[in-house]
Each structure stands twice: as structure tokens, then as C-alpha cells.
Structure 1
Amino acid sequence: MSPFVVLLLLFPLTLLAAEDEVAVLLHLKNSLHIPASSAAEFQSWLPSAALPCNFTGITCDAGNLVSAIDLTRKGISGTISFSSLCLLPSLSKLSLGSNNLSGNLATDIHNCSGLRHLDLAANSLSGTVPDLSPLSGLRVLNLSGNNFSGQFPWISLSNISVLESLSLGDNSYDSSPFPMVVTELTNLYWLYLSVCNLHGDLPPEIGNLTHLVNLEVSDNFLSGPIPPEITKLNKLLQLELYNNSFTGNLPVGFQNLSELSFFDASSNYLTGDLTELAFLNKLVSLQLFFNDFSGEVPAEFGDFKNLVNLSLYNNRLTGSLPPKLGSWSEFNFIDVSTNFLTGPIPPDMCRMGTMKKLLILENQFSGEIPASYANCTTLIRFRVSNNSLSGVVPAGIWSLPIANIIDLELNQFEGPLTKEIAKASSLNQLYLSNNRFSGELPPELFEAAALVSIDATSNKFVGNIPASIGKLKGLLSLSLDQNMLSGDIPDSLGSCSDLSSLSLAANLLSGPIPPSIGKLSNLNSLNLSNNQLSGQIPTSLTSLKLSSLDLSNNRLTGTVPSDLSINAYNDSFAGNTGLCADANSFLPRCSSSTSNNSDKLRTVLIIILVFIVAVVAGTSLFTIIRRRRSSSGGDYPLSARGSWNIKTFRILTFDEQEIINSIKQENLIGKGGSGNVYRVELGTGKIMAVKHIWNFPDGAASAEGSNRSTAAAMLSRRSLLRSKEFEAEIETLSSIRHVNVVKLYCSITSEDSSLLVYEYLPNGSLWDRLHSGTGEKLGPLDWETRYEIAIGAARGLEYLHHGCNRPILHRDVKSSNILLDEEFRPRIADFGLAKILHCSTNAAFRDSSSHLVAGTHGYIAPEYAYTWKVSEKSDVYSFGVVLMELVTGKRPVEIYYGEDKDIVQWVAANIRSQESVLGLVDRRILDAAEREAAVKVLRIAVICTAGIAAMRPSMRTVVQMLEEVGVGILPIGRLGNAVGVKQLVLSTDEKNTKLYQ
């Protein structure tokens, strides 16, 4: 029998001797998994030791008995047996926080009746919290940051009246009101109840806890006004109320909190002015963003000698900032963006040389940038865009050594961009658009090797584009349009291999288009319009996969390459009188003859053309009549039609004839703008989905009805299906291998139609499950399933945008194009082809009263209405609408949103109203923790649907944000020992997006 078992048998008949405590601790060590990084710290835990007092993490009392165990942040995992640890008779402190411990908190902890300090925070403990009232001597209890669930553990607190520090936050308790028992613990100096699923008011009895130095109740669902009784807590150092639904003004007497150093009430619905904060001169950090505060920033803030962080963005503040603001301390950052502030920028916020972020965008600041910021070498972000600032930018701003973004756009700055920019070694985003900058672009600009985005649109830059631009291998976006740049486009641009967007429009550029641009395999948008470019269009451009091309209004000559002479680019060549094309109705047709176009020849050609049209029309009419007579129920007998060609993209267990024979009315399961969809059961029992696309008007009429515009659209598809572009797109889509993108098995084509064979998804579309009778019949989707659909679909789009050799734009992201397999895993469907089909029809119907747009009403990004162009950010917008559907259960367009309004406008109008944002969540989502997660996803949806495309995140960022909702964010609290979950509301700075437009 082992010595440890003997000890257990003897207990509690006798207390352990000091030397026997070694066995207890060694048993603890053997029950844990200790990572290699911590193994050295346990080398002192030796069986040969007479006493454990020299063990790492062990403290003994005067009698050499173990009084404290502190194994915080050792990376240990496993489960803890308190029945053994409680054998230690003098144990008063047990700290096992910030590890990977799992299992339940068993009731055998009751045997540790001598505990005064219990810290199990930031582990993976689960289950309900047992009644801890037998531990009546506890002074410190920290169970935060675990996976505890069930009822909030208020019963545990009813008999522990001596508690001084209580941390129960960051757990998934059932919804409950604020626990009144807490207000009876009048010895508390530390209270951490963030992320506890608390609802209702913060009770006035909170004023009983007059010893509190820390009060954190953030990330809950608390509402109503901040109780006036909170002003009795005059010892408070930290007050965290963010991400709730508090309303009203700051209570009168708030200035009584004279010791307050850290105050965060951001993301609530607070109103009124900031007068009550004017005398809190010990403030170190003040964060009140995303509220509805108005009035001026108190002048007294300029005298706060400890202030380090100030974040007031997205309010309605007016007036000037105090001139001395941030000049007394080691100031860190200021964000007062999106207010109505005026006057100059305070000059001395970097006086101590510690400032990292200056963010004042979207206000009405005026005057020049103070020269002092030219020496603020600690700045990481310098954003002053969308103000009324003017003058010459201090030279040192250009050379800030660790700044990663300099944003000066939408002001009235003038003067040059200086060569000091070469020293900005960390700069990756430079925004200068809509100013009055002048002079030449310095070659040194392109020595800033970290640059990924340059926007200098709408300035007065002159001279050549420096050839040194080719050094920027990581450049993603370059916009130099609407300047006065001249000379040739440098051939070195072809070395910017990551470039996805290039705009040099509206300059004075001349010479040929360099063929090297065709090397930019990632290029998605190319705009060289309104210049003086000459020569022929390089054939190398045909290798690019462009969603947007504009070469209009130049002096280009010759034949447009056939691969660019497609309807999608009809307007791309306008204003080039020397251009012709073999197949483009917007350009004159090229002629091999050099003779003059005499009136006689023109007449002959017209007669021949009329004759040909008449013959073709007559033949087509006869064919249509014959086909309609031979068809039954709108189906055309495919098996009787000519020869078929098959292209396979995966291993097939069927032949084309089996598919062709199954295109029958009884197998029809769906109709869409690009064709009908059939459910085909093969002889093997496997089921496939087959899309049938006609390319003649009879088929259009059969499949789509008599709608003329649809028939015309189907007619235009005839040439499309034969085009090289269609074939290239099919090959691109056939190469896609991603779990969240529908599988294309093969294409089967004939002269007049095409069959695309996809995997069959048995649970239909997300639209069906959310909005149709199918969903009601099968029951509502639970939140876990909705979240998995959201993140799976996001990963599919991320792959299309970022994981392919060339980005693929879906152009019709919507819930009906997200299909669900047998386990409700999502697949992105109807991509690529929708893009081509819509491109081909858009130009043709540009001047028609009936447009076929790139997308579906309710999902279309607003920029499409005035640019007719889309980008990856258009897909992001549409996906944001899908997220709103998932969270709210509502359709993109509903009558009760109001006239001409959609779900995006409805959410934006209600997410900041006096009602809780929870009111937007689908009522079929019942669990409180799930509703909280749904709110976070809804906030991501709002970011995705920002009105300005550039402000939307990439799909890669969207995936990351959604993943954060799934795992939670658990940084250490601001004062060092409280775990807090910061809200998912993103600042205008951190993600370069804004939550509300």
C-alpha cells in the first residue's frame, strides 16, 4: 500500500506531519501534465525532501506546514483532486489561475475549510459552481474566465460575508438580474462581474460597497440609468461599465469619485455632457466611445496630469479640444473621431515623446498640423482625415519611423510630399487623396518598402511616375488618378507583383501602355482612362482576370485584343477614335481592306447585311416554332439534340447520357436567372444537382416565361457560352477545392445549351431554412448551427478572394446561394458564372429601363448604383446582409422596414436606439449567452455593410472576427489581476473600419 493511500486512510483521524505533506504534493504533481517549459520549476519537488518548504510555488508557515500553493501561469493541465489537497491542515491560499485545468469544481473542496484565498481563474473548468458557503473564511475568490454554466452562484456568497475580492466574470451563467447578495458584501474592495449574463438595472444598493476600488460589470445586458448611489464609492480607482445598455446622463455627483483613474462606459446609450468628469483629475484612461454625449470637452481635461488614454469617438461632441491636453504625462493615444469638434489640434500631446496614436478623423478641425508632431517618433498611427486642416505638412511627419498609417485625406493640405518619406520604414498605408499637394512624386516614396496602399487621388502632383515604383513588391493598391502626372507609365510597374488595384486615370500620361502590366496576375481593377496614352493595347492584358477595366478617352489605336472584346468591357474603350474590334458593338468593326469607304460600298454592305439578317431571322423563327411544337411542358428533349461534349473535373461514376436523359420536368427543383436546376438520381443511387443553361431565346422563353428582358438576356448568353471567357471561367471554377464551396464535377455542352453537374446538397439553401415554409416545417436553426454556417460561408468566400491564383468575385452572395449539406455545413454556390452572365448583360442594357444588375435586390452594395463596378468589398457587403439574416431571422427586404429601406438601414436605425440591441436578435434564439454572441455577429455584419467600400474589412478579416466570437477574447484586466472580455465593437482605427456610417 502506497504512503499516500495510508495518509488518506488515516485522515481525518490524525493531522499530517510536516514530512508527510511531501507525499500530498507529489501526488498533485503526478496527477498533472507539466509542459516542458515549466518542467525545470518542478525539479525541486523531490521525493527525498524531508520538508516541502523549498518546493517551487510552495510557502510554509512558522511550523513548516504548507500554507500556500501558487502555481499560477505554469501551463499545467489535468484535473485537481481537492480531497487530497485539503489534507494539508494549514493551507490557506490556493492559486492555480491561468492554466489549462479542466473538469468540474467538486464539492470535496468543502474540506479546505481553512482557505482564505482561492484563485482558479482562466482555466477550462466547467459545470455549475457548487455551494461554497462552507468556506466561510474566504477573503479572495476568483473563478473568472472558465466555462462555468447554470445558475449564477449567489448561494455560494450568502455565508461568506468576509469576502474582500470577488471575481466571477467571463462565464456562461444563465440569464439573471444583478445578484443582490453581492451588495451585502460590504468588505469588498474588488468586484469583477463582467460577462455574467446579467440583465436589468444596476441596483442602487451598489452604493453600499463603499470600500470598492474596482467595479467591473461590462459586457452584460444591464440597462436603465447609472444609479446615483454609485457616487458614494469614493475609493474607486477603476469603473468598467462598457458594452451594456445604460441610458441617461452621468449621475449628478459623479465628480465625487475623486480617486477614479480608469473609467470605461463605452458602447452604451449615455447622453448629456461631460461636465461631471471635469474634476476627476486623477484619470489615467477615459473611454466613452459609441455613446450619444454632446457639448464640449471640458477645458479641465487639459490640466489632467495623469491622463494617458482618451477615447471619445462616435459621439456628438462640439467645440475645441483643450490646448494643453496630453501635455503633462506620458500620453499614449487619443481617438476623438466622428464628432463635430473644431479648432486646432492640441500641440503638445507628444510633449513627453510617448504618443502612439493620434486619431481625430471625421471632425471639423482646422489650422495646420503642429510642428511638434514631426518629432513624435513613437507614433504608430497618424490619422487626421476628413477635416478642414490646411498648410504644409511638417517634413518629419513623412519620415515617422514606426508609423504604419499616415492618413491625411479630405483636407486642404498643400506643398510637396518630401523625400523624407524614404525613412518611413514601417509605413504600409499612405492616404493623401482630396488635398492640394503639389510638386513631383519623389523617387524616395518607393523606398518605403513596407507600403501596401497608396492613395494620392485628386491632388496637383506633376511630373513622371518614378521608375523606382517597381521596388514596392508588396504594393496592393495604387491610386494616383486626378492629378497632372505626365510622361510614360513606367515599365517597372510590372514588378509590383501583388498589385490588385491600379488607377492612374485623369492625368496627362502619354506613350504606350507597358506590356509588363500583363504580369500583374493579382490585378483586379485597372483604370488608365482620361490620359493621352497611345499605341496599341498590349495583348498581355488578356492574361489578367479583371472585374473592372477602363482605358477610355485616350489616343489608343489598332485592334482590341479579342479576349478583351467582350460585352463586360464595352465602355472600357470609348473615346479612343483609333480603336476597332472584331466583336464589340460599341466600337467600329476592324476591316482588312485599305480602300476608301465610298457611299457605294457602304450601300452594298448594308444590303448584304439586311439580307443576312432576314435569312437568319427567318431560319430562327422556323426553328423556334419547330422546337416549341416538339417540346412538352416547357422541357426540350435534350437527348434528341446533336452531339454533346463533356469536360470532367473530378472522378465520375456516370456518363453524360445518364445526365442528359434526366433533364425532365419531374426532376426540376429550382429556377434562376441563369438556368433551371434539376435533381438527378443516378443508377448508383448517388444524387447530383444539374444546372441547365439554354443559349437561344426559345430556351429562354421555355425556362423563364414570356418576360422580354429575360428572353433578351438569354439571347445574349448564346455568344457568351461560346466565348473563351466562359471556358476560362469554367476551368477556373473546376480547379477550386474547398470544403465550403460547392463541387463542380463536369460540364456537358452542345451547340445550344450547357449542363453543369454539381454535388447535391440535401438541406437546400439557407434562405429556405430561414424564410420559407421548408424552414418552418423542419424547425428553426439553432444558434450554434447559424454560427457554423456563418463562419463556414465566410471561409468559402475568403478562399475565393484570397486563396486562388487570381481572386474570384462571386457577385451574387445571398442566402439562397448558400447551400447546406446533410450536417448543415454551408457551400457557396452559383459563383463565377453569375458574374459573367451579369457582366454580359449589364452593358447591353445600360441604357434600358430594365437593368440586369450584378447581384440581387437587398444584397447589392451601394457603390454599384453609381459606378456599375464591383470588387471584393461588394461581396463583403452582401455577406454582411447574410449575417444580418442569420442573426435577425428577417429577409433583406421587408415592408415594415419602411419605404425604400432594407435590412441594412433597419439595423443601423435600431442598433443604437434606446431599446436594447437584443431586440434585433431572432426571438427563436432563446439562450441568453447565444443572444449575446448573436449581437457580436450583428456588429460584424454592420461593419461589413459600411456605406464606403474602402471601410469594409476583407473576408480574411471577417473570418478572424467571427472566430473571435467563437473562442472569446480574454485579455488581462487593466489593473493586472482581473480577466476581462473587451467588446467586439471595433474602433475606426483598429480595423480601418467604422461600425456606423
Structure 2
Amino acid sequence: MQPQNLSFFLFLFVILLPSVKPDLDSDRAALLALRSAVGGRTLLWNVTQQSPCSWAGVQCKDNHVTVLRLPGVALSGQIPTGIFSNLTHLRTLSLRLNALKGQLPSDLASCASLRNLYLQGNLLSGEFPEVLFSLHDLVRLNLASNNFSGVIPLGLNNLTRLRTLFLENNHLSGSIPALNLKKLEQLNVSNNLLNGSVPGKFQIFSSDAFLGNSLCGRPLKPCPGTEVPPAFGIDINEPKKKKLSGGAIAGIVIGSVLGFLLILLVLFLLCRRKSSKKTTSVDIATVKQRVAEIPGDKPVSDVENGGYNNGYSVAATAAAAMVGNGKSEANNGGAKKLVFFGNSARAFDLEDLLRASAEVLGKGTFGTAYKAVLEVGTAVAVKRLKDVTISEREFKEKIEVVGAMDHENLVPLRAYYYSRDEKLLVYDYMPMGSLSALLHGNKGAGRTPLNWQMRSGIAFGAARGIEFLHSQGSNVSHGNIKSSNILLTKSHDARVSDFGLAHLVGPSSTPNRVAGYRAPEVTDPRKVSQKADVYSFGVLLLELLTGKAPTHALLNEEGVDLPRWVQSIVREEWTSEVFDLELLRDQNVEEEMVQLLQLAVDCAASYPDKRPSMAEVTKRIEELRQSSLRENHEPQPNVINDTGDISSR
């Protein structure tokens, strides 16, 4: 390097270096000033470390503090002015469940990039803090369980990106203004001193959001003096019209009777038809016709991989699968029987399945799925395989390996049947169907929401099942991991299905497999490594957290897959927006949700070497579940209705 070039380089180094370091130094000084002002029993920061980025509750990005999360650490006193003016890059601020008092400092307005502000469970007071109106990027605002008073100001209209507004358990008074917050998804103003009617735009929220006030109007009781619209357009104040004549009354009665009889006749015919369908036995003589009548493929979310109730992928009924070839072989002396594995109970045989009533559950990657109810009342599930081109000897060798897999988080294979034209697998019947059905099925009234404990438990169970498969050998993988292959027991415990089947079928069954779940390095879907399994499991975790399937229409329109979509949201510091709204109802589990999101992103890394092993994945899920259970059982300092924060990474 020439001397003049070296001198120029050193000049730039000297000029630019100070512009980087002081930024973090000012952030560090602000954090130390905060600790000095409000204390905190757990703020045991190691001040000998020059960088604050490793301090508990502090996260940095681009040489700035962007996240400060200090929930429940016994902070007390008033936050002085001058601290936040040096923390101008904050995206998430969580000081919930402390004993902070007084008003918010005016320099909080300097944090123009703030997305998430969680101050619930303190002793903050004064009128609604106007300093918040300049934080135009706020998405989550939680001021619940404080001592704020005065009216709810119209200045909240400045927060056009606001999705969560929690103001419950304060002393707010007056009426609720008609705020124009188009993106608002969560609202709670309960237990204040509010009066008047609920604004029309807020009437979509549940009554719980408004209880403990003097409010009226939908979704609460009608306001006094509100006129009730005349029923069916009849004005009760109009003079009574003349009574109907006797002939008119007779006509109405006769018409009603005839209509009632007609309805009874239709119901009778429908019941007979339904009863006839239910009692139809699937025997060898009729099964070919029944299979021919199976409707075309249902939507992927309904029956992908022969799924039960929206994607039951392993359970299928032997009854409808036993076509004439098995019987003819038996008649010719080459009798074919069900082959049971290990200690599986031999409570039925091939003929029992042939006589069973069957219900078609759907078609999928490896074949058609059925549910068969035996004469003794036992329900079994069988998959009728398609495109099996290997010999009987090779089939037997490979399926015996599958049958030997014994783990509480795997759907056990009980028996198989092999003939020249029919290959059948008999499994335990899983009554709750698949995770795909639960996530993407009917979300109407009466549906049980999937909360954090259920979802994290399903993730943990599925991880354990896949980890067990991987522990059977370095070349053992699942090869077809997706939500329709995660089946559920009545207690919502996860059971992994469809393992070991990728090696049984021909190439024609594989092109469309695991759309959206397949790792980028997989070229032959019949040859999937354990690291590729980890990628698919990462997509499954993202599906659990976002509520979006990898084939979601929104993602397809944007031309990205689910992992890339999540990463794009996280890069923009809008992490809280990726979570399914049903998850946001849970309290005090935001840390764990973000940790699981990070684990999912790690699993779905583009390069296999960057992905963790399934053993590590299982361990991390178990640890975060234990963390959430501990936090939920810890006593809280007289604070109710706490909703935690979701940090941005």
C-alpha cells in the first residue's frame, strides 16, 4: 500500500471510530442513570463490561440499545427526565410489574422508533400521558393497572399503527372517544370511571373489554331511552288492525299442517338415506365400486396425505382397501393375512375388516385414508398405499423397521397386509385428527382456541417423536414432516405419523409432497436427511406460532415461503405482528413465544450446517415450556389483567 493511501485509510479510521463507540457509550450511561434512579433488586449488571449489550434485559442492534425489558424487578420511584433522550433507538420498552410512580418523562418522545411499550402493573399517575402521541410507530401499548386519570384523549388517533390498547384498572373518566384506529385488534378499558355509550367502531370487541364502568350500548346493555326497532317492521304504536276472518285463519292452519307434514316426510327420507349409508358393510364384492366412487382430492388443508378430519395422514381403514384380489388369493390357496407387529393385540383378522363399516377420510400423498369400525365397536385406521413397486420381501423388510418403532409420540403401526395389488397399513385411530385441522379448520363459534400451553405442548411432543426417529441411526429420517402428519390424542398430545413410508412408494407419489416444508437442498423427496427434517420442523413451528400454513394465500401472493416471510417481518422490528391472535390472548408467555420463534428460524436456516439437531430442538422447547410454567405459578404483586410484552428481535 502506498504511503499516501495508508495515511488516508488511517485518517478515515480515526474519524469514523469515535462516531461508533460513543453511541453505545451514551446508551450505557443512560442505563446506569436509570438504575441509579429507580434501583431494582435484579439489576446486577456487570458494569466492568464496557458494552451493555450483554446485560440482563438489554438487547442491541447496530451499536444501539433497541430492547430494554425489566419486568418485575422491583423498580421504584420516578423515572427522571433525560434518560430516554439517550436511548433513541429503543424498539421495545417493558417496565411492567414494578412500583414506578409519577408521570412519564417528556423525553420519552425521543424514542421515535418505539414499537412496544409495556408499563402495566405500576403506580404511574396523572392524566393520560400526551408524550405518547408522538410515538407514531407504536403497535402495542399497555398502561393497565396504574393510577392514570382524566379522559381518554383523541390524540391516540396519531398512533395509526396501534394494534393493542390496554387501559383497564385505572381511574380514567368521561366517555370513550370515537377513535379512528383502523388496525386495532385488542382493546380493554374495563374497571375505570367511564360513562356514556360504546362507540360504534368498538362494538366489535367483547363485553369484557368494557365491564366495570357506567357504559351502555352494544356489546353491553342498551342505553336508557334507546328506542327498540319495531319487530319485523310492525309499529307497536299503530292502531290495531282488524282481526283475521275465520276463513283466513282456517287457511293458515291447513297450510301450516301441510307444510309440517312435508317437512316430516323430507326428514324421514334423509334419515333413511343416512342410516343406509352408515350401515353399509364394505365387503369384497362392493369395495371396488366404493373406491371408484371416492370423490376427487379435497383441499390440501382438509385431507392432505389421506388425512382424518382435515388431514389425517396415517390412519386409514382396512375395510375399504381390501379389494377382491385378497379374497381370490385366499380362495386359491395362497391365503393372505394381516401381519401384526410385536405385542399388538390380534383382536381382529382380515375378514373382520372386510365386514367393518368404513368411512372415507380422504386421499393424500401415500394413498387413501379410511376409518373402520369393527363389529365389536373398535375403531381402527388404515392407509391403503398406492404406487408401491417394491417386492414383497423388500416391503416386509422395510415395514418391519417401521413397525418396530415404539415411542409415545409416534402413531404405532399395528399390522400390515400385502398382496400383489393391495398394500395396507393398520394403525391406532386418533380421534382428534390432525394439527392441520385444528389450526386451519373451522374457527367459528364453539371452537376451542389453541393457547400457548397447547401449542408448545404439541411442539414438544412432535419434537420428541422426531428426535426418537433420528436416534435410530444417522440415515433414519422422517421425510414428510408437516402439520397434517401430526395427529392428536383426546388430551391434545402429539403423535407423529407417516414416518418410514417415503421408502415404500414410487417416484410418482412424491412430486407434490411437503409443499412449503421441503428444505432447499432436497432434490429427491425420497432421500431426505435429518437436517432436512429439522428444516421441515422449523416450518411447522412457524405454522404453530403464526397460524398460517406454508401454502397460505397471502404468502403465495407475495411470492415467499413462510420462513422468509417471518424473517422479513422480524427484520423490520415488527416481531409481534407475526403471532397468531389466539396466542396473544395468553399472559406472561411472550418471552417464550419469542424464544420459540427464534428456534423456528434457526431450524429453517437455508444452510443445513446452521440448523440445530432434533435433540437440541427438543431440549430448547422443554426449557422454555418449564420457564413459562414457573412464571405462571410465581405470585404476582397484586396486579391483575397483566398482558406481557412481545419483544422485537
Using CA pairs below 8 Å that are at least 6 residues apart, which structure has the higher relative contact order? 2
Larger relative helix fraction: 2
Larger Rg over CA atoms? 1
TM-score with structure 2 setting the length: 0.48
TM-score scaled by structure 1? 0.32
